[in-house]
A = this chain, B = another copy of it.
Amino acid sequence: MHFQVIDGGVTAATGFQAADATAGIKKNGQPDMAMLYSSSPCRAAGTFTTNVVKAAPVKWDQDLVFHQPYVQAVVCNSGTANACTGQEGMNACRETAQEAAVFLHIPETAVLVASTGVIGQQLPMEKIKQGISLLTDRLSDSREAAVKAAQAILTTDTVKKEAAVTVNLGGKTVHIGGMCKGSGMIHPNMCTMLSFVTTDACISKELLQKALSQTVEDTYNMISVDGDTSTNDTVLLLANAMAENPEITEENEDYQKFLEALYYVNETLAKSIAGDGEGCTALFEAKIIGAADKQQAVTLAKSIVSSNLTKAAIYGHDANWGRILCAMGYSGAKFDPEKVNLFIESAAGKLQLMKNGTATAYSEEEATQILSETSVTAIADIKMGTAEATAWGCDLTHEYVSINADYRS
């Protein structure tokens, strides 16, 4: 491990500022806009929802990330998703970027936008514009500004989600810090939610994108709250080079160290989304070991954390291992059920529930104790090889249903 975990978020990296504002988009009067700004232009990388239905901000950002050499700011609102809003929604993205560009004295093509919330409503542009004015006044590189920005992007999330590390690259201290929001409509097929990661590393645009894409596969793409892949999923990674490390232009040792550090930030953020899934009471991790290849392990692990029945059993602290094996069975991956060993593990201990496809004589009491923790893991050994994968989800609760039965009110 070549990196150090530090307390921080999107302002951890040199040159990055953040701000929050209450623009009146959310009905509950909570902060609902955030801004990120870098004093130097940034190379940008991004991964976006694979949903055929893409929100306007996703289209706007894809264009900028993949066709503009530099970006310098992000404007985010929570409360309305600007999805299924047609040409008016695209115009709203441009107007938002234009407004921020004027205040920040940068080109509109350097302003990324992001939205999360109810699908189908147009952005309230007057509120957005007032919000941008407030945001630019408040920009700060303080720890507090990062925390407030992390809070302002939340919707039904219950806790803010941040992570930050430092890593030494070529004698220079490089920072990577991020914030994200998740909660519902979480079933990444790319990523699934909004995540913003900033770094002062100097790295080529090509390798920045490669590092992001590589880490997203094993982090954001391995979480599921409800199987619904959002229209707005966006992960943005901005690098402003202000750490002055020797530019990373090939997959050398510095790249590997950067990748490792970025992986940690993204895994931490992804797990925090799964652990704060709508209405959930526990983070549920599924680990497949002994797989023939990575894809098989990924398919099986994701099927387990996506199973409503398994998730309801986790909520009930019920060691219903039959549902776990069942979810593996319908995943599409081939394996021999009569070879499977299954374990559960948490802070309260580890227990084998199944050996070679049939139940062990385990203690139900011990199993319930293990499943009563706020973070529980199921481990399945399918004895076909050495590949592994881990997926993260959460339990399915009464509260999830309550939140989503009338989300728009």
- Residue numbers of A with Cβ under 8 A of B are 50-54, 81, 83-86, 118-121, 184-185, 187, 189, 226-231, 306-309, 312-313, 315-316, 318, 320-323, 325-330, 333-335, 337-338, 354, 356-359, 396-398, 400-409
Contacts and interface: CB of A to CB of B under 8 A. Distances in A.
Contacts of A227: 227, 306-308
A225 B240 CA distance: 49
A230 B326 CA distance: 7
A326 B233 CA distance: 12
Given A84-B337, A184-B309, A309-B226, A407 B326 contact: no
Contacts of A334: 52
Nearest to A306: B227
Contact of A408 (B52, B318, B327, B405): B318
B86 A358 contact: yes
A120 B338 CA distance: 12
In the A-B complex, the 10 residue pairs with the closest CB atoms: A119-B322, A316-B405, A53-B329, A312-B404, A229-B330, A316-B406, A51-B329, A52-B329, A226-B308, A53-B337
A119 B326 contact: yes
B84 A335 contact: no
B52 A330 contact: yes
A322 B118 contact: yes
Given A320-B408, A401-B312, A409-B318, A327 B358 contact: no
Contact of A315 (B51, B312, B337, B401): B401
A67 to B, nearest CB: 22
Contacts of A50: 330
Nearest to A314: B405
A329 B120 contact: no
Contacts of A338: 86
A119 B323 contact: yes
Given A228-B326, A316-B407, 7 more contacts: A52-B334, A84-B357, A119-B323, A228-B307, A312-B403, A313-B404, A318-B408
A244 to B, nearest CB: 42
A189 B330 contact: yes
A397 B405 CA distance: 8
